[in-house]
Structures are given as structure tokens and as C-alpha cells.
């Protein structure tokens, strides 16, 4: 008996966790729009991973003699005026767009949920101080700030670039190679977008936690000796999961759009790399001549935004155990 106990120490956590998710999964499967969205997103992500690797065209190689051509058997999404394959560029752009959207959202999720949860739970002066920080940050015109940071600090001699090289230095051998510079620029965008988008998350979570912390079950948890951190993360935040998930799934497309906007302005992703925003911006310039250059990246972006919205909606329903099992 005692041996079995010792072996199973980690089991209940994982077990109860996985069965919550199993229930949620079962409910999610019944929501057709969410399932279709999830499948489309999965295919899209798979495409973004595989197409640049397996595709027969390179995203950067030019064929000036070919120039811009409409979609054909050879180039399924056509080519741009430099003769580059649009499909290769769209899927490479998808990599960047997804990565920016997801990573920046995770950053904003981690900061926002913790910040809002702590402020809402403790209330009083702690809450006032923490939320004043959020208020002050809100008043900054952040997009302009990101652009300024980008212009003044995201250059090859800037502090941030040295910091970036310091971080990747131990990981790769050619950290000083200029080919890493575009990667640095993208990472800068991750950090900047994540850093600005947690404010709304913090406010939403704080509001939820304030409404929840007066619930008797929180007092009941305190009455059995549960500590503050466990109450916030085990009792309060799971109960706020619905709005958090919905807002998260809305943040991803929002950040993808912001990235697109920055790229459009020439501040985000730089040629020859691509992102959907950058491709759409380039396509918009020539939409009357070569509409396929705009249509494909725009459709991919729009489809992704739709799918995230449907999926978020489905997840909110699925994660609520109060909805009857049937």
C-alpha cells in the first residue's frame, strides 16, 4: 500500500487535469463550427511548417524573366513581379504571422493573467497600485512607441541587438552573422506586441477575480487553510477561464493584424522574409494588375481570424463544466 502511494504521488494532479480536458474535448467535438475551425487551423499550421520545406519553390529565389504570372499548374498561387513563387511566400509568411500571434499572446497571457489575478484578489492598495500602472501604460500611444523603439533601438548597433546576440550566442555558432538580423527584428516585434497587449487581459481578469473572490467557495477554501497563491491559481483563475480563453483567442488575430500593420509600414517583417501583412501590403499596391498577390495572403489571414473566433467560442462553452453532460 505505502509503496503504491509513493509511486503515485504525481498522479492525481495529472489525472484530474486530464479528465477536465477530456470532458472539454468531448463537448468541443460536438460543436461543428469549432471543430471545422480547429481542423482548418491545424491544416494551416501544418502547411506553414511543411510547404516551405517540401515545396519545389524557394520563397526568395527570383526569376526576373518570368515576372508576375497568374496562378498556374507550376505556381499554384502565381508569382510576383520578381518571379518569386507566391505560395512559398504565403506559407513562409504564415510561419511568421502565427509565431508572432501565438508567442506574443502567450507573453500577454502570462503577464496579464498573473497581474490581473493578483490585483483583483488582494484588492485595496495592492489593487490600486497595480491598476494605476496599467492605466498609465494605457495612456501611451503604444503603436507609435513600438515604431519609435523599432526605429531607434532595433538597429544593428542598438542595445537590443547586442542583447539578442548575447542570448543566441551560446545557442548558435554564427550569432554575429547578418542573416540573424531579420530574426532579431521579428523577436523584437514579439516582445513589443506581447508587452503592450497584456493590459486589457489584466483588466478583464481583475474584473472576473473581483466578482469571484466574494463567492463563498473562496471563503470556504480559505477556511480549510489554502494559501493565497493556490486560491488565485487553483480556485479563482480556473473559474475565470471562459473569458480568458475567449479573450486569448481574440488576442491572437489582433496581434497578427498589428504585426501586419507594422509590416505594412515597413517596421515589422522585412523582405526577403515575408508575413501575411507584408504580402497583403505589397499585393495591395498592385491589386489592379496582379490581384492574386493580394487575394491569397488576405484570404489566409481572414480565414485564420475567423477560425480563431469560432474556436474561442467553442472552447468557452466546452470548458464550462456547468453545462450539462449528455
Partner 1 sequence: MALLEVDDLQTHFFTEEGVVKAVDGVSFRVDRGEVVCLVGESGSGKSVTSLSLLGLVPSPPGRIVGGSIRFQNGETSEDLVKASEARMRSIRGDRIAMIFQDPMTSLNPYMRIGRQLAEVLEVHQDLRGDAARKRCLEMLEAVGIPGAASRLDDHPHQLSGGMRQRVMIAMALLCAPDLLIADEPTTALDVTIQAQILELIEERKNEMGVGVLFITHDLGVVAKMADRVAVMYAGRLVEQGSVDAIFEQPQHPYTEALLRSIPRIDTGGGRDRLEAIDGLPPSPANLPPGCPFHPRCRYAVDPCRETFPDRRRFDLDGHPHEAACHVPPEERG
**Positions that interact with partner 1 (CB under 8 A):** 1, 4-5, 8-13, 16, 19-20, 124, 215-217, 219-227, 230, 234-235, 238-239, 241, 321-322, 325
What burial class does residue 262 get, using C-beta atoms within 10 Å of its C-beta: 0-12 exposed, 13-18 middle, 19+ buried? buried
| CA distance to 108, 142, 190, 297, per residue, from 102 (Å) | 10, 19, 9, 18
| CA distance to 63, 231, 247, 254, 284, per residue, from 145 (Å) | 38, 37, 24, 18, 26
Least distance in Å: CB of 106 to partner 1? Answer: 22
Least distance in Å: CB of 227 to partner 1? Answer: 6
CA distance 51 to 246: 30
Nearer to partner 1 (CB atom), residue 75 or residue 213: 213
Nearer to partner 1 (CB atom), residue 24 or residue 107: 24
Q: Give how far the C-alpha of residue 298 lies from the chain's centroid of Cα atoms, to the nearest Å.
A: 18
Least distance in Å: CB of 20 to partner 1? Answer: 8
Peptide bond into 216 cis (omega under 30): no
Q: Give how far the C-alpha of residue 115 lies from the chain's centroid of Cα atoms, to the nearest Å.
A: 19
Least distance in Å: CB of 194 to partner 1? Answer: 27
What is the grid cell recorded at 121?
484578489
Cβ contact 81:286 at 8 Å? yes
Nearer to partner 1 (CB atom), residue 30 or residue 234: 234
Least distance in Å: CB of 196 to partner 1? Answer: 30
Which residue, among 263, 131, 130, has the nearest Cα to 193 in the 3D structure? 263
For 79, phi then psi, to 5°, come to -130, 165
Nearer to partner 1 (CB atom), residue 43 or residue 129: 129
Least distance in Å: CB of 30 to partner 1? Answer: 18
Nearer to partner 1 (CB atom), residue 144 or residue 224: 224
Nearer to partner 1 (CB atom), residue 52 or residue 117: 117
Least distance in Å: CB of 282 to partner 1? Answer: 47
Nearer to partner 1 (CB atom), residue 187 or residue 241: 241
Nearer to partner 1 (CB atom), residue 156 or residue 222: 222
| CA distance to 15, 124, 222, 235, per residue, from 216 (Å) | 26, 20, 10, 12
CA distance 25 to 120: 30
Least distance in Å: CB of 126 to partner 1? Answer: 12
Amino acid at each position: 500500500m505505502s509503496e503504491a502511494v509513493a509511486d503515485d504521488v504525481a498522479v492525481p494532479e495529472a489525472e484530474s487535469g486530464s479528465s477536465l480536458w477530456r470532458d472539454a474535448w468531448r463537448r468541443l467535438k460536438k460543436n461543428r463550427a469549432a471543430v471545422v475551425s480547429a481542423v482548418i487551423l491545424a491544416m494551416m499550421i501544418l502547411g506553414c511548417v511543411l510547404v516551405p520545406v517540401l515545396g519545389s519553390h524557394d520563397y526568395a529565389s527570383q526569376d526576373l524573366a518570368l515576372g508576375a504570372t497568374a496562378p498556374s499548374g507550376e505556381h499554384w498561387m502565381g508569382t510576383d513581379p520578381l518571379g518569386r513563387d507566391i505560395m512559398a511566400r504565403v506559407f513562409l509568411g504564415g510561419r511568421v504571422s502565427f509565431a508572432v500571434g501565438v508567442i506574443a499572446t502567450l507573453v500577454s497571457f502570462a503577464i496579464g493573467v498573473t497581474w490581473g489575478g493578483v490585483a483583483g484578489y488582494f484588492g485595496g492598495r495592492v489593487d490600486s497600485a497595480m491598476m494605476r500602472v496599467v492605466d498609465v501604460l494605457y495612456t501611451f500611444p503604444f503603436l507609435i512607441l513600438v515604431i519609435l523603439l523599432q526605429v531607434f533601438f532595433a538597429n544593428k548597433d542598438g542595445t537590443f541587438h547586442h542583447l539578442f546576440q548575447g542570448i543566441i550566442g551560446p545557442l548558435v555558432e554564427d550569432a554575429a552573422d547578418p542573416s540573424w538580423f531579420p530574426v532579431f527584428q521579428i523577436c523584437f516585434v514579439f516582445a513589443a506586441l506581447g508587452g503592450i497587449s497584456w493590459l486589457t487581459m489584466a483588466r478583464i481578469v481583475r474584473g472576473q477575480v473581483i466578482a469571484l473572490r466574494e463567492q463563498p467557495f473562496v471563503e470556504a477554501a480559505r477556511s480549510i487553510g489554502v494559501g493565497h497563491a493556490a486560491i488565485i491559481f487553483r480556485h479563482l483563475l480556473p473559474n475565470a477561464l471562459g473569458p480568458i480563453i475567449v479573450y486569448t483567442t481574440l488576442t491572437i488575430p489582433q496581434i497578427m493584424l498589428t504585426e501586419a500593420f507594422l509590416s505594412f509600414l515597413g517596421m515589422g517583417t522585412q523582405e526577403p522574409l515575408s508575413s501575411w501583412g507584408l504580402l497583403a501590403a505589397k499585393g495591395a499596391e498592385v491589386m489592379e494588375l496582379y490581384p492574386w498577390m493580394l487575394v491569397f495572403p488576405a484570404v489566409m489571414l481572414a480565414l485564420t481570424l475567423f477560425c480563431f473566433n469560432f474556436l474561442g467560442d467553442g472552447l468557452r462553452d466546452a470548458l464550462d463544466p456547468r453545462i450539462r453532460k449528455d
